Structure 1
Amino acid sequence: MKKKGIITVLSVVVVLFLIGWVLQNNKKKNAETTAVVASGNSGAVTVKTEKVTKTDIDLDFSSNGTFLANQDLTLSAENSGRVTRVLVDEGARVSKGQIVARIDNELLSVDVETAQASYQNALRDLERYESSFKTGGVTQQQLDNARLNVRTLQARVQAAARKSSDANIKAPISGIVNKRFIEQGSYVNPGAQLFEIVDVNKLKLKVTANEGQVVNLKLGDRVMIKSSVFPQSSFSGKVSFIAPKADNSLNFPVEVEVSNTAGGQLKAGMYGTAVFDFPQQAPALTVPRTAFIGSVNSNKVFVLNENKAEERNVTAGRILGERVEILEGLKDGETVITSGQINLVNGTEVQAVK
């Protein structure tokens, strides 16, 4: 029994010795590896850089869109009745106020005559009341009611006459009849569609501009318009609307008014391209947008100064696509860090790579 106990103790001692030797050996190897890594690495953070120089500023851009009619409306019936005449067809050019159809106004004429007769009768009653009031035959209230009745019936006459005149359907705008929804002899109710009239003497080209482009636009700017349907022709337009708010894609809707009087070549629904041409700009200092710490709004960049990162406050100007104009804070020939800023603080040692 004593012999077995001695063997067990010796076995434990041997195992502990072996474990200690393995741990010591691993520690030595790790130390050697660390020493090798340390000897080959200076601790500098790897970054990309770019030299600050003056570059030409090009504000010109183009944007595609769709032509829309200057005015496009559907003329509807205001009264019920049977269509007795249709005076225009699809494709006809009409002027504002021109009669385009007539609705049977026999019942409307009866309403006018009835209202007119009631009005004349009320006038005679008013005369009698005014005469009787002078002799004390009627009260002031009865006289006032008679006067109110006259005014009410007079308004009824005007309304009936207006409805009767509405039997002549008139074009509310000048343009071209794009669709005709009625036929002679058909019966229409109030609100029924009669004609679709489109004014294409002027068109609107709806395009978009991003935040860097829209700041250079103003109402009235002249714009050259191109159309793939007429590649040899160009059209003149002017900016008529600039949205004060961006859409869901963070672009700003812009409308360009285009004159289409020369032959009416352009049609609503065609595609077009607005070419925005700006005067030549003086060269300016620019840096990539990626040079800014966080975002352009931070107005902070890192400048490479003797292999160290120096935080610098700058004043950003116009955003020109992927580059940003620098108004103050940098000089021509300095070097800015364009990537790796997340690992930097002021004074960090850096190593620039291509």
Structure 2
Amino acid sequence: MKRVIIIIVVLVVALGGIYLVLTNNKKKNAEKTAFIAEGSGAISVRVADVEKKVVDLDFSANGNFIPKKEIDFLSENAGRVKAIYVEEGDRVTKGQVLARVDAEIINTDRETAEATYQNALKDEARYQSSFSTGGVTQQQLDQAKLTTRNAKLRLQASQRRLSDANIKSPINGIVNKKYIEVGAFVNTQGTKLFELVDVSSLKLRVNVNESQVANLKVGDKINIKSSVFPSDKFSGKITFIASKADETLNFPIEIEVANNNKGSLKAGMYGTAVFNFPQQAPSILIPRTSFVGSVSSNQVYILDKTNNTAKTRTVVSGRILGENVEILDGLKEGETVITSGQINLANGMAVSVVK
């Protein structure tokens, strides 16, 4: 009997606790509802006045300088390095000999190809003379001409390999790295010889967002700043604008920058691209949060001040400028848009402006 009484008491206490919790929750919900819908049933909203503002399109973006030209120079012939004529840091010109590979084997091949070609020329001349007297057929003469042509091609190839024994720079630039030493053996599989960079002009790579890239085009001239050389002035022009955004939804662009006479800029340094635009005519701007759902919906609520109600309005949006959106049609100065609380609204509902 005592056990039954204890169970009943426990149940009564538990039910009492549940009742208190439900009552407390109901009270809190009533307070929240009162905040959103004051006794009149009006929905609390925030608003912003529709007005024309001057659009400032100027912005800057940071990036890194990279060489306009950068080449890992590879070997084309097999052989032992006989001489190296440059060191790391040397400035070189296009066509300058950087190193030489031992050409003894290559030269032997060229001499053999030369002898073969001369013999082929003599054979072709004999066949031509015999053909005129009926001593050989047309087919035999054609075969002799083909042999001569093939021998000439082999000679040209060997002469090219002999010329390539002198390793020449393909660009104007600086020897950034040297990967070989005298006596080292290089092969035809592409042994890395030198790293050459051209920093007479560089490229500055930066990323811009969708609203910024819309105002840029290839060929635009851009001012460039370097934190390392704050007193020096640099300029460049846009040479590349990505047609597709990257994974961060930004668009990579490249700006070709002319280095100064001192060659101050180095590849890998930080740079800042300063984008300046002509002053724009004032445009109607509203907060981005004014749109129902997203900017693409083109739907906003305006405040009807005569009776404090919300009215839906279809607008034509233009550029997204930070936290504001340009409105091309659908709104005029002096009107008021609702910027928060739209989730609780429907057309014609009463609203209360929260200040």
Tell me if TM exceeds 0.5. yes
Q: Quote the offset at 1:50 in angstroms.
A: 0.6
Aligned residue for 2:203? 204
1:159 paired with 2:157, answer yes
Q: Quote the offset at 1:222 in angstroms.
A: 1.7
AA aligned to 1:330 is L
Unaligned 5+ segments in structure 2 are 1-25
Aligned residue for 1:349? 350
Say which of 41, 44, 64 aligns to 1:43.
41
In structure 2, C-alpha distance between the alignment counterparts of 1:317 and 1:225, rounded to whole Å? 29
Aligned residue for 1:94? 92
In structure 2, C-alpha distance between the alignment counterparts of 1:83 and 1:130, rounded to whole Å? 46
Q: Quote the offset at 1:94 in angstroms.
A: 0.2
1:186 paired with 2:187, answer no
Q: Deviations over 1:152-195 (max 9, x none)?
A: 11111110000000000000000011111111222211211111
Q: Quote the offset at 1:97 in angstroms.
A: 0.5
AA aligned to 1:186 is A
1:192-341 maps to which residues of 2 (within 5 A)? 192-305=191-304, 306-341=307-342
AA aligned to 1:319 is I
TM-score, normalising length: structure 1 = 0.86
Q: Quote the offset at 1:234 in angstroms.
A: 2.9
TM-score, normalising length: structure 2 = 0.86
Unaligned 5+ segments in structure 1 are 1-29
Aligned residue for 2:79? 81
Q: Quote the offset at 1:284 in angstroms.
A: 1.1
In structure 2, C-alpha distance between the alignment counterparts of 1:134 and 1:342, rounded to whole Å? 101
1:18-33 maps to which residues of 2 (within 5 A)? none
> Is the 8 Å Cα contact of residues 226 and 272 (structure 2) preserved in structure 1?
yes
In structure 2, C-alpha distance between the alignment counterparts of 1:40 and 1:181, rounded to whole Å? 79
Q: Quote the offset at 1:40 in angstroms.
A: 6.1
Give the fraction of aligned pairs with identical amino acids, expressed as a percent. 60
> Is the 8 Å Cα contact of residues 199 and 263 (structure 2) preserved in structure 1?
yes
AA aligned to 2:281 is A
> Is the 8 Å Cα contact of residues 234 and 260 (structure 2) preserved in structure 1?
no
In structure 2, C-alpha distance between the alignment counterparts of 1:208 and 1:270, rounded to whole Å? 16
Q: Count matched residues.
A: 320
Secondary structure of the 2:268 match is coil
Secondary structure of the 1:231 match is coil
* Residues 58/214 of structure 1: CA separation in 2 closer, same or farther (3 Å cut): same
* Residues 104/40 of structure 1: CA separation in 2 closer, same or farther (3 Å cut): closer
In structure 1, C-alpha distance between the alignment counterparts of 2:288 and 2:330, rounded to whole Å? 15
Q: Deviations over 1:279-334 (max 9, x none)?
A: 11121110011111222122221111132221111111111111011111101010
Rg comparison, structure with higher value: 1
Secondary structure of the 1:111 match is helix
In structure 2, C-alpha distance between the alignment counterparts of 1:60 and 1:295, rounded to whole Å? 25
AA aligned to 2:235 is S
In structure 1, C-alpha distance between the alignment counterparts of 2:157 and 2:43, rounded to whole Å? 85
AA aligned to 2:316 is T
Aligned residue for 1:107? 105
In structure 1, C-alpha distance between the alignment counterparts of 2:309 and 2:38, rounded to whole Å? 19
Q: Quote the offset at 1:262 in angstroms.
A: 2.3
Secondary structure of the 1:280 match is coil
